[in-house]
């Protein structure tokens, strides 16, 4: 923060931490369904002084001139400042889009259903015709009610990237994230090629067997995957009442007593306007962490809780003595990698027997099913990255609906609605963070399995090892963590090998 021509870094960090507390608490209250309106714009306005072009210029110069720890911190502060600056330019749109989505309703069986809750209906609807009808109504609402503001939103953020001296939004975030998106996309293209036949054969057979639908864009939709993933036939193993106890019991085996984490708050209540997308909110790291899941029944709940539990444990275990940049900022592929690693238990046959209580054959069958879901998601995100590089390449947005539908439909061989071409996009190329996190997880899996065994979740030493990793917050990038564990950095071949081996070994 520049005052009197000088930058006060200490004051900048203090005010940034206050801003993040207010903003994340606001996000928590709104998306947990406890507050209808979202007033992030007001909070951004209050802290406008953090996100000036002067601050961006100062931090960019500082990043380029510094080295070592200083460069690491300045890189994180610059990204934080730029993201805050861009968000400030669209603050009113962000609030309006969230409020409109929260208020939006579709009509199902002559009843008005909240748009957000309709996603839960979709995942629980066994009848293909009714599912398509709900999906069509959701898509129509997005096109007629949400896309105008989303179009303005993305046009504005694209314009801000150019105003900051970059050729495009993708160019800006490749620089801020210090990630070569083209190289990452090439790695994921390799994943698509090497899993094409495997995916079509195994996932196609699963879709036909479970839903009676061929895997093709003319017969199956992305919304069919939502119902397939719901996996109701396994509900007896994934009861709502056991959801939190299973997480706590798993951690206890690793000598991690969640009851001692009085900084982590569980929010698993069902609320009508609660976001169907599970999330972890971190108003203050590590003292105030919210783990939020909208229970919808079945394996989805468990997978979501394990994933978000990974985030909560990571941030809740972060050393309070770390600098602001390492507690709040840094490489998001790290926290996503830890979250994906906890989620990996859903593909561990021994854990499935020990906790959900499956017998050996059912555990083997479910692990195979879960691995196929993961393959679907990895292929989807390969498509998302490919599409977002087109969406954010500096050319006009208009006409990219068909590109979205074509790319995403091709990677999953299921029809995607073109109406979602602006809504199915996360800010700041977060899709790249997810991809790098899956790769990070696949390498962490190799290390932990070699060191502690397949049933690592029963080992106290494994718990100590994870707590040690979590303790560093996001001080180190995913590549740096992997280098410290003996790898050469992120390597997509580990992800490809993990996906193909686990499916072929069924």
* 483 and 378 assigned to the same domain: yes
* 73 and 187 assigned to the same domain: no
Query: Does position 236 have pLDDT exceeding 60, yes or no?
Result: yes
Establish if 9 belongs to a structural domain: yes
* 67 and 186 assigned to the same domain: no
* 344 and 465 assigned to the same domain: yes
359 Cβ contact list (under 8 Å, min separation 6): 353
Mean pLDDT on 201-224 = 96
Establish if 83 belongs to a structural domain: yes
Establish if 162 belongs to a structural domain: no
* 352 and 466 assigned to the same domain: yes
Q: Are 238 and 301 in contact (CB under 8 A)?
A: yes
Q: Give whole-number Cα distances, 32 to 284, 381, 425, in Å.
A: 17, 26, 21
With vertex at residue 193, the alpha carbon angle to CA 188 and CA 197, rounded to the nearest 5 degrees, is: 130
**Quick one: which of 372, 376, 499, 373 has its CA closest to 439?**
499
Establish if 419 belongs to a structural domain: yes
Min mean pLDDT across 53-67, 244-258, 294-308, 332-346 is at 294-308
Which residue shows structure tokens 């997509």? 492
**Tally of CB atoms within 10 A around 206:** 17
* 384 and 480 assigned to the same domain: yes
Establish if 275 belongs to a structural domain: no
Q: Are 438 and 334 in contact (CB under 8 A)?
A: no
* 82 and 201 assigned to the same domain: no
Of the pLDDT bands very low, low, confident and very high (cuts 50, 70, 90), residue 474 is: very high
Residue ending a domain, among 101, 124, 142, is 101
| Helix or strand run (H / E) with residue 291 | strand 288-292
Q: How many domains does the chain have?
A: 2
Q: pLDDT (tens digit, 9 = 90+) per residue, 72-130?
A: 999 999 999 999 999 999 988 988 998 899 899 999 999 999 998 888 888 889 999 99
Residue ending a domain, among 43, 73, 101, is 101
Establish if 45 belongs to a structural domain: yes
* 357 and 457 assigned to the same domain: yes
Q: What is the domain range of residue 37?
A: 2-101
6 three-state secondary structure: strand
CB burial of residue 480 (10 Å; 0-12, 13-18, 19+): middle
Which residue shows structure tokens 């900084």? 263
Which residue shows structure tokens 């993708």? 170
* 84 and 201 assigned to the same domain: no
* 77 and 189 assigned to the same domain: no
Establish if 113 belongs to a structural domain: no
Q: Are 87 and 156 in contact (CB under 8 A)?
A: no
Percent helix, strand and coil across the chain, each to the nearest 5: 70, 5, 25
* 188 and 96 assigned to the same domain: no
Establish if 133 belongs to a structural domain: no
Q: pLDDT (tens digit, 9 = 90+) per residue, 11-39?
A: 999 999 999 999 999 999 999 999 988 88
* 198 and 75 assigned to the same domain: no
Residue ending a domain, among 66, 101, 136, is 101
Of the pLDDT bands very low, low, confident and very high (cuts 50, 70, 90), residue 5 is: low
Q: pLDDT (tens digit, 9 = 90+) per residue, 120-173?
A: 888 889 999 999 999 999 999 999 999 999 999 999 999 999 999 999 999 999
């Amino acid at each position: 923060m520049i005052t009197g021509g000088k930058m006060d870094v200490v004051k900048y960090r203090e005010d940034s931490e206050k801003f993040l507390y207010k903003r994340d608490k606001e996000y928590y209250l709104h998306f947990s369904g406890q507050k209808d309106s979202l007033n992030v714009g007001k909070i951004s306005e209050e802290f406008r002084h953090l996100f000036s072009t002067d601050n961006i210029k100062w931090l960019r110069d500082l990043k380029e001139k510094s080295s070592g720890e200083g460069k690491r911190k300045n890189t994180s502060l610059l990204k934080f400042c730029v993201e805050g600056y861009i968000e400030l330019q669209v603050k009113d749109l962000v609030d309006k889009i969230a409020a409109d989505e929260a208020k939006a309703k579709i009509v199902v069986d002559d009843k008005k259903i909240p748009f957000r809750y309709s996603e839960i209906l979709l995942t629980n609807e066994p009848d293909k015709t009714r599912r398509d009808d709900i999906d069509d109504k959701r898509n129509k609402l997005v096109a007629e009610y949400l896309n105008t503001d989303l179009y303005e939103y993305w046009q504005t953020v694209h314009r801000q990237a150019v105003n900051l001296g970059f050729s495009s939004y993708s160019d800006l975030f490749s620089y801020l994230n210090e990630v070569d998106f083209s190289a990452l996309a090439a790695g994921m293209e390799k994943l698509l090629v090497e899993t094409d036949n495997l995916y079509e054969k195994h996932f196609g057979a699963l879709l036909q067997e479970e839903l009676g639908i061929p895997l093709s864009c003319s017969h199956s939709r992305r919304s069919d995957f939502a119902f397939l993933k719901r996996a109701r036939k396994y509900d007896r193993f994934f009861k709502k009442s056991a959801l939190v106890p299973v997480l706590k019991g798993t951690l206890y085996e690793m000598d991690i007593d969640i009851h001692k984490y009085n900084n982590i708050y569980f929010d698993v209540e069902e609320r009508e306007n609660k976001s169907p997308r599970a999330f972890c909110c971190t108003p203050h790291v590590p003292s105030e962490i919210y783990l939020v899941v909208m229970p919808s029944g079945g394996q989805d709940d468990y997978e979501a809780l394990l994933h978000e539990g990974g985030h909560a444990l990571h941030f809740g275990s972060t050393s309070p003595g770390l600098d602001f940049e390492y507690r709040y900022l840094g490489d998001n592929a790290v926290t996503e990698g830890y979250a994906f690693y906890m989620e990996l238990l859903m593909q561990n046959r021994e854990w499935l027997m020990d906790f959900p209580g499956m017998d050996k054959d059912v555990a083997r069958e479910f692990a195979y099913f879960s691995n196929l879901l993961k393959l679907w998601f990895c292929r989807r995100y390969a498509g998302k990255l490919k599409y977002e590089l087109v969406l954010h390449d500096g050319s006009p947005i208009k006409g990219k609906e068909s590109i979205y539908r074509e790319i995403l439909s091709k990677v999953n061989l299921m029809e995607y609605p073109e109406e979602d071409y602006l809504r199915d996009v996360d800010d700041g190329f977060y899709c790249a963070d997810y991809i790098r996190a899956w790769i990070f997880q696949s390498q962490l899996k190799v290390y932990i399995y070699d060191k502690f065994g397949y049933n690592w979740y029963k080992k106290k030493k494994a718990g100590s090892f994870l707590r040690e990793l979590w303790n560093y917050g996001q001080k180190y990038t995913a590549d740096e963590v992997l280098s410290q564990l003996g790898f050469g950095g992120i390597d997509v071949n580990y992800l490809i090998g993990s996906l193909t081996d686990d499916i072929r070994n069924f």
